[in-house]
Each structure stands twice: as structure tokens, then as C-alpha cells.
Chain A
Amino acid sequence: ILNVEQSPQSLHVQEGDSTNFTCSFPSSNFYALHWYRWETAKSPEALFVMTLNGDEKKKGRISATLNTKEGYSYLYIKGSQPEDSATYLCAPGGYSTLTFGKGTMLLVSP
């Protein structure tokens, strides 16, 4: 089982603030890294899947980067909105299975 660390555990920001989270993982046997957003009472929803060192992905105000050599990924949210409030999960993995971190819970106040 991979040791996946996500930080911070939780975050409370004001609307309009930009924020970022970190996902750390062992760099050996790496195949892919996933980011999911999980809103309360809904199913986790995929944000990004990255496989290559140096990968950068963007979806609207949300972007992510990947460093497979040092074993970390950053998720950035620019100009947070209340609808961004959710738990953000990262999941690195080998070819067949993923290991999920505990998540970062984001609350954006109006």
C-alpha cells in the first residue's frame, strides 16, 4: 500500500482567494496520478489524470502539476468560489490500482 499524504487536511478561504493543495507519494512504481473532487452528498468526480513528469493540466480555474521524480502533485484553484467547496482527493497508482489519500477539505465562504 502506497503512503499518500495530502496537505493541508482542511482549508477555509474567502471567495476570490486562490489556494493550492499538495499530494505526496512514493515515486517508485508510479504509473498515473488522479485528482477527484467530492462534493457532499454526491459521487467523486474526476478532475485530472496525469502520467508524465512535468505534466500540467487545466480545467477552468483549476489546474494541476505533477513531479514524478520527487513524488508530488499540486492542485491550484484560482479565485475560489463557494461551489468549489468539496473534498479533493489525490490517487497515485501503479498500472492496475490506485491508492487514495485522505483528501483536503476545502470550504469557500461567500
Chain B
Amino acid sequence: DGGITQSPKYLFRKEGQNVTLSCEQNLNHDAMYWYRQDPGQGLRLIYYSQIVNDFQKGDIAEGYSVSREKKESFPLTVTSAQKNPTAFYLCASSITGSGANVLTFGAGSRLTVL
């Protein structure tokens, strides 16, 4: 079955450590996205990529980095510069980067900073 796989599901990190969240899709989608969810807030866009080897900052990119070396993969690194990293992170993909294309979401990764 085609879909998006995010790992790990739960992650604990000590302050000052970088951590990388994995996102893999086998849908042959060109575009991929990372969103963050905090209690009482809507999903906020961190980074997105419309094509391999290219990505753009979203609304809250500070303290995060991404890469898009393969079409299937869009890992997100939460760096020590991210001041409040504890959150739920969702990866999504769509056929192309057009806003009219449906997003397919992964199951999410919950990051807790100790």
C-alpha cells in the first residue's frame, strides 16, 4: 500500500541536541511538507519541497533544517537553535506543489525535549 512513513513515532531529546525526524513516501509525489502542531494552534508549515534538491522555508523555519536528496525522502532536523521544539510533527506529500492537490499525511512524530 502506498503511503507516508514517519519515524520515530515518539522521540525524547535532551536540550542542546540535534534530532532528525524521518519521512518517506512511496506515492511518487513530487512535493513534500513538514508541519508542526502545538496545543490550541493550527498546523504550521516549517519547510516544503516541490522537487528533488530544492526546498523553501515555511512560516516557522527557524531552528529547523531539511534536505531533499531523493524524491521519496524529506528528513527534518530539529537543531539546538529551535527554542521550543517539543511538539507534534506531521509530514505530508502531494502529487505536485500546486495548492489544489490533496495532501497525504503521515502518522506523525511526537518530540519531547527533556
Give me the interface of A with B, judged by CB distance under 8 Å: 1, 4, 31-32, 34, 36, 42-46, 49, 51, 89, 91, 93-103
Contacts and interface: CB of A to CB of B under 8 A. Distances in A.
* Interface magnitude class on chain B: 20 to 34
Given A43-B106, A96-B50, A98-B103, A1 B42 contact: no
B50 to A, nearest CB: 7
Question: Which of the listed residues B48, B98, B100 has the most CB atoms from chain A within 10 Å of its own CB?
Answer: B100
Contacts of B84: none
A4 to B, nearest CB: 7
B42 A100 contact: yes
B40 interface: yes
Nearest to A98: B99
A94 B48 CA distance: 14
A42 B107 CA distance: 6
Classify the interface of chain A: helix, strand, loop or mixed: loop
Contact of A31 (B50, B99, B102): B99
A105 to B, nearest CB: 11
A46 B48 CA distance: 19
A5 to B, nearest CB: 10
A46 B103 contact: yes
18 contacts: A31-B99, A31-B100, A32-B98, A43-B108, A44-B103, A45-B105, A46-B102, A49-B102, A89-B43, A95-B98, A95-B99, A96-B48, A96-B97, A96-B98, A98-B103, A100-B42, A100-B43, A102-B40
Contacts of B106: 43
B54 to A, nearest CB: 12
Nearest to B108: A43
Contacts of A103: 42
**7 pairs of A and B residues whose beta carbons are closest in the complex:** A100-B42, A100-B43, A43-B105, A46-B102, A93-B99, A32-B100, A32-B99
